[in-house]
Structure 1
Amino acid sequence: MRDSLFIISTRQLGQLNYEADLIQEHRLVLIASDSELENLEPSLRSHFDDVIEVPVAVNDGVIVTYDLEVLGSRILQSSHLTPSSSIVCFDEGNTSLAHSLRRRFKLGDEKFDTPDIELFRNKVAMKNKLAEAGIQIPQFSSFHEEVLPYAYYAEQLGCPFVFKPSESAGSNGVYIIENEHDFTNAKDAVKDALNLYEAETYISGKLYHCDIALFGGETVFAECTEYLAPTIDFQTGTPLGGKIMGEGCDLRRRLIRFTEQSLRALNAGNGVYHTEVFVTLNGELVFLESGARPPGMLVTRMYEKATGVNLLNLDVEIQVGRLLERKTQGMLDAFYLVYPKGVGKVNALYPLPALANMDTEFKRVSNIGDVHDGCSSNLDFTAYVICSGSDTSFETAYQSMANYSPLSYVA
């Protein structure tokens, strides 16, 4: 009888390689809400031997968290649970839930567990822990106990400053505060959730993400990506994405060391971690945040094209406790870009520019006649592209696609 692999949430299921030997060896059980299952493509649903439907406890529009007690009961009732079962979660909103289930059912290697998983969900607790370890973080102030006047934050943090939720993802609910009017509007927008917010210094510099896999106390994968622009800029029309950093880049090595130090300070155990780091104008590294899950959007596909490693499959191997041997391949250049929705009715779709000698994957999700009302999170996109290659024309292709617009609007 095959051991069960419980996969929590439908997010990123389309990027998992179901033909991999370790996946084929397991009975796959999908855990998801009724609305997620309703929208799941039949081709993806066909990979699973069973499905457990679970109610949603929290939904902020981007982050969805399931009901832990109901799910625990339904897993027990499903007859799929054995001492050698494994639980995998690629979804930010349910990383703590997955951790709780592993502990409840005594699954995985507790020696290499992450004892303080909540540090990866609560940005305030995360930064407090890192500050204790001497890791450079932005100056910040939590709204948990009280919200002080605008002048206090402007003096303490500088202006502009960032107003953001302490638990979310994808630049959801993030505001850049440049004056007292912005501050008042942001407070009014979040209303009763204000105690779940924080204010943070705005960092001038370049944003990167470093993605690291840990197994048995060792780093088994580490790559970094230079963002095209800060993720918050997606909501004002700039594509979201970036390009993988070359192996010979000294900054890449610094980012990996810095991220490893940060993960050690957070007592990170077995798993894949997605960490964002600013490089200031004078070259200092400043920790922004980290998630105890693989990167989202199209990063997995980009890394797979560049390195041959699928991070979702690697996360499965880590949670099962068995790393597979991989054939090494030469490192390729690669980038991904996601294009945000604008405002108005789509009246034209534009073809891709010529991209010489590039392996290109492009998809539209908007059509002529669609009406868009702007972009409020990373889920509001119209098209995406992933490119890889080893040609000298890579940078030209990257800049060309950074300036590309997939469509236009009429009011």
Structure 2
Amino acid sequence: MKTIIFLSAVFRYIDLYNFDAIDKEDNSKFILILGENEKNKITTQHQCCFNSIIFLPVYLIEGEPNTRFIYSNVHNTIKKLVITHHDIKIICIDEGNIFLAAKIRESFNISGPKQNIVEPFTNKSMMHKIIESGEVAYPKSIFLTKALIKKNKNVLFDHIVSKVGFPFILKPDNSSGAFGVSLITSKNDYDNNTIFNDNFNYLASEYITGDLYHCDLQIYKKEILFSGSGMYLNPLLDFMFEKNIGSILLEENDARNTEMRNLCIHILLNVIQVNSGSFHVEFFNRDGQWIFLEAAYRPPGAGLIDLYQQCLGINLCNTDYLLQIDEKPEYIFKNKKNIFIVAAPIRQGTLFVKTPPIIKSHLIIDWRVKDAQYMKSPKSIADKALVAFAMNDNYQTLFQDYLSLKKHSFFSVNQ
């Protein structure tokens, strides 16, 4: 009898699963370990999915959108559960706690991805060192420790520019949700006291321009079971500068699909040497050259889960669940559709007038803000004013509508 523990500090990751479609084995138990500040998000329907729900304290790294568990609390909880439960599996797609889940598995000899495989996906500088060894194009980067920044911040600017060029990107080494990422376009940007957070080491990277793409793979014992890829509307960092983001899946016969898939297989199987799991990999395409940006050991984010679900009829969190309990999922594609997703960020000011676009495709907008609501500038890609889906039987028409939303303003604000 299996005991499946879903570990997530944030409820929105749990809400991505379609539990009605999960084939729960007879007598198996589902336990949810959730952040205690998420209690009010549990509905009666969700309670019915689990044999028990355990709420644990969480903490927030200053300003970061994703809460994290305290390792000792999770360890003590699992220690009690292993006494009374058997064949435990730990499921975690919560980006801020994936490495913690790996440490817990290792501590209790629970099957599943361990620290040595997971850590590069949660540590940007470690990942870049591995990628460099695999002869994959990636942005020029240097690692900046907290101690180095504190001691030499004022003289580091010229050193960074000499190594990675100008402008450049500063990223916290192990943060999530695009928190704390800064585009440095001037010395004044760098001198801003808010760009460095004392809780993090940083990676300074070359600023890459071009179209940003994602490739999503699910692998079982080195066999590629699923791959899909899409083109982002704008680079995700642009969301922080109040630009729309989104994705449209590429057509199956698009050469970019094959190119990205083959490059991902090389990176994941040959360079990083993973065995099983779900992987979300992002690339820039600059004048036909694929440049690795980053990779995550999880299914794609919430919007892309919905996009794959609506386009292909599959829930990649459900299939990932099977991978995490060491079972091989089957993929049944239903009612394939041409769809794109777009999200607009909140903006500083009071929402004044909504201005939906006029396009040929059928558009559905889910507003996350209310009329006359006061908003602040976005701090992460979680700060959405709206999410919109569009569909069209004609892919080329859909694609042109998609591109037309790059700079569209869905609403105006009064400052």
Structure 1-normalised TM-score? 0.90
Unaligned 5+ residue runs, structure 1? none
The 5-angstrom pairing of residues 63-102 of structure 1 reads 63-78=66-81, 82-102=85-105
Alpha-carbon shift at residue 79 of structure 1 (Å): 6.6
Moved over 6 A (4+): none
Structure 2 equivalent of residue 395 of structure 1? 399
Check conservation: 1:75, 1:81, Cα contact below 8 A.
no
Cα deviation 1:68-100 (Å, max 9, x = unaligned): 221121133247964423211111111111112
The 5-angstrom pairing of residues 260-275 of structure 1 reads 260-264=265-269, 265-275=271-281
Structure 2 equivalent of residue 319 of structure 1? 324
Give the alignment partner of residue 168 of structure 1, picking from 172, 175, 194: 175
RMSD over aligned CA atoms reads 2.4
The 5-angstrom pairing of residues 91-240 of structure 1 reads 91-108=94-111, 115-144=116-145, 146-147=148-149, 148-185=155-192, 187-193=193-199, 196-240=201-245
Unaligned 5+ residue runs, structure 2? 150-154
Give the alignment partner of residue 256 of structure 2, picking from 251, 260, 282: 251
Check conservation: 2:105, 2:112, Cα contact below 8 A.
no
Check conservation: 2:213, 2:230, Cα contact below 8 A.
yes
SS of 2:19's partner is coil
SS of 1:22's partner is coil
Change in 2 beyond 3 A, CA 1:11/1:93: same
Structure 2 equivalent of residue 28 of structure 1? 30
SS of 1:103's partner is helix
SS of 2:379's partner is coil
Of stretches 45-54 and 120-129 in structure 1, the one that deviates more from structure 2 is 45-54
Identity %: 23
CA distance in 1, matches of 2:130, 2:314: 31
Of stretches 317-326 and 21-30 in structure 1, the one that deviates more from structure 2 is 21-30
Structure 1 equivalent of residue 367 of structure 2? 364
Cα deviation 1:334-372 (Å, max 9, x = unaligned): 21111100111123334564654x4x5531111113111
Check conservation: 1:303, 1:334, Cα contact below 8 A.
no
CA distance in 1, matches of 2:353, 2:347: 13
CA distance in 1, matches of 2:334, 2:325: 25
SS of 1:62's partner is coil
CA distance in 2, matches of 1:43, 1:376: 32
Check conservation: 1:338, 1:383, Cα contact below 8 A.
yes
Change in 2 beyond 3 A, CA 1:179/1:82: same
CA distance in 2, matches of 1:45, 1:348: 39
Change in 2 beyond 3 A, CA 1:402/1:44: farther
**In the alignment, structure 1 residue 343 sits paired with structure 2 residue 348:** yes
CA distance in 2, matches of 1:290, 1:324: 22
Check conservation: 1:235, 1:375, Cα contact below 8 A.
yes
Of stretches 63-72 and 314-323 in structure 1, the one that deviates more from structure 2 is 63-72
Structure 1 equivalent of residue 152 of structure 2? none
Amino acid at match of 2:274: A
CA distance in 2, matches of 1:367, 1:289: 34
Structure 2 equivalent of residue 334 of structure 1? 339
Amino acid at match of 2:414: V
Change in 2 beyond 3 A, CA 1:77/1:214: same
Of stretches 64-73 and 120-129 in structure 1, the one that deviates more from structure 2 is 64-73
CA distance in 1, matches of 2:129, 2:384: 34
Of stretches 101-110 and 87-96 in structure 1, the one that deviates more from structure 2 is 101-110
CA distance in 1, matches of 2:169, 2:238: 13
Give the alignment partner of residue 56 of structure 2, picking from 29, 54, 57: 54
CA distance in 1, matches of 2:35, 2:4: 18
CA distance in 2, matches of 1:160, 1:63: 28
Of stretches 395-404 and 200-209 in structure 1, the one that deviates more from structure 2 is 395-404
Structure 2 equivalent of residue 379 of structure 1? 382
Structure 1 equivalent of residue 296 of structure 2? 291
CA distance in 1, matches of 2:331, 2:268: 25
CA distance in 2, matches of 1:36, 1:115: 30
Alpha-carbon shift at residue 175 of structure 1 (Å): 1.0
Change in 2 beyond 3 A, CA 1:410/1:245: same
Check conservation: 1:208, 1:227, Cα contact below 8 A.
yes
Alpha-carbon shift at residue 176 of structure 1 (Å): 0.9
